[in-house]
Amino acid sequence: MVDATQHHTTSGSAHSHDHRSASRRRLGISLALILGYMVAEVIGGLVSGSLALLADAGHMLTDAAAIGLAILAIWISSRPASIEQTFGFHRTEILAAMLNALSLWLIAAWIFFEASRRFGDSPEVDGGLMLVVGAIGLMVNAATAWVLHRSAGESLNVEGAFLHVLGDLLGSVAVVVAGVLVLSFGWHIADPIFGIVIGVLILASSFRLLWKVLHVLMEGTPAHLDLHQLCQRLEELDGVTGVHDIHAWSITTGYDALSAHVTADASVMGDPNPVMQRLRDIASTEFGIGHVTIQLEDSMDGCDEDHHIEHPNVRPDVYTATHRHDG
């Protein structure tokens, strides 16, 4: 006897919708701040002849593009599911995060190339103008980062835009320091040096984001989810004899999915609904999984898949050969 059920948590969907609305609002505010200052920084970089300032302005341009892309991704991801896209368009936000991470590499490459040209012949720069424009940029970037930081922890899409802004914030610090060195000591070479510092900071901020994106795209187990503990909790239920063929992955940030086969004894199979409800509640309520699919079985006969994970079992009395947790 086999019984299968699928469960989608409505509260999880509403929670995700609230996050998207808040993220879209914060991204809109950030975009206005970035665009408003970017023009001034470009003009300041051209007038002063500062590479560090122009590099920072170029990064702010990509900040604006990154934020715009994040807003577009949120809009697309809110479209309903269809027969062609049964999970909807949630992965659009993950793809936007990947594009933002890769674009950071292109920016860093341009900065390194331009800085290498200036080491041989460091042009004079207007340190005073660098200092003023950089200080204003520091305040703008700090305000933008503050607006985005909360949503960045809830969405890889917003985190991609946030890392652009954070890299720019650190870049503004570098511009200010370079301006002080030029004004105080006439060290014009500080400009390309700090241009490289900005490039390194940009690369560092992108690697972690790209790793998270690839983990989602490879359908890795969500980092916050302990599958061993989940299996143990499911097997603690009376009548449940094992869990196998378990898969957990993220559709997008904050929206996780689970599928599993659960074996149970004859007393459960006679009236499976109470146990099925408890299994779903554990997965969705205790572990925050939004899309739960569980198949209840009286044995593992006929289960040909070999997707079994090892996990410590807290009930030795029900651990038998039928568990087949042999990786």
Same domain, 34 and 153: yes
- The answer to whether residue 88 is domain-embedded is yes
Q: What CATH code is carried by the domain that includes residue 239?
A: 3.30.70.1350
Q: What is the mean pLDDT of residues 281-286?
A: 92
Could you tell me if residue 204 is inside a domain? yes
Question: Does residue 4 belong to any structural domain of this protein?
Answer: no
| The pLDDT value given to residue 320 | 40
Which tokens in the block code for residue 264?
């149970």
State yes or no: pLDDT of 324 exceeds 50. no
Question: How far, in Å, CA of 244 to CA of 230, rounded?
Answer: 12
pLDDT tens readout for residues 137-176: 788 888 888 888 877 777 777 888 887 787 777 777 877 8
Looking at the structure, do residues 23 and 67 belong to the same domain, yes or no? yes
- Residue 133 domain flag: yes
**What is the end-to-end Cα distance of the chain in Å, rounded?**
26
**Among the three residues 198, 217, 236, which one is the final residue of a domain in this structure?**
217
What does the pLDDT look like over 63-107, one tens digit per residue?
788 788 888 888 888 888 888 888 888 888 888 888 888 888 887
- pLDDT at residue 134 greater than cutoff 70: yes
Give the pLDDT of residue 56: 65
- Going across the sheet that includes 291-297, the strands are 2-8, 291-297, 255-264, 240-252
7 in any annotated domain: no
69 and 187 within one domain: yes
Q: Domain check: are 99 and 149 in the same one? A: yes
Alpha carbon of residue 151 to chain centroid: 10
Task: State yes or no: pLDDT of 236 exceeds 80.
Answer: yes
User: Domain containing 160: what range?
Assistant: 16-217
Find the CATH number of the domain harbouring 61: 1.20.1510.10
Q: Does residue 308 surpass a pLDDT of 70? A: no
Residue 272 has pLDDT above 80, yes or no: yes
Which alpha helices (H) appear in the chain, and where do they start and end? Answer: 10-48, 51-77, 91-120, 127-152, 156-185, 190-217, 227-235, 266-269, 273-281
Contact 67, 161 (CB under 8 A): yes
pTM exceeds 0.75: no
CA distances from 55 to 46, 189, 205, 208 (A): 11, 15, 16, 22
Structural domain tally of the chain?
A: 2
Boundary of a domain, candidates 217, 238, 270 = 217
Domain membership of residue 241 (yes or no) is: yes
Q: In this structure, is the dihedral angle defined by the CA atoms of residues 62, 68, 74 and 75, taken in order, positive or negative? A: negative
Question: Which residue, of 217, 238, 271, is where some domain finishes?
Answer: 217
Single out the residue of 237, 245, 232 nearest to residue 314, CA to CA: 232
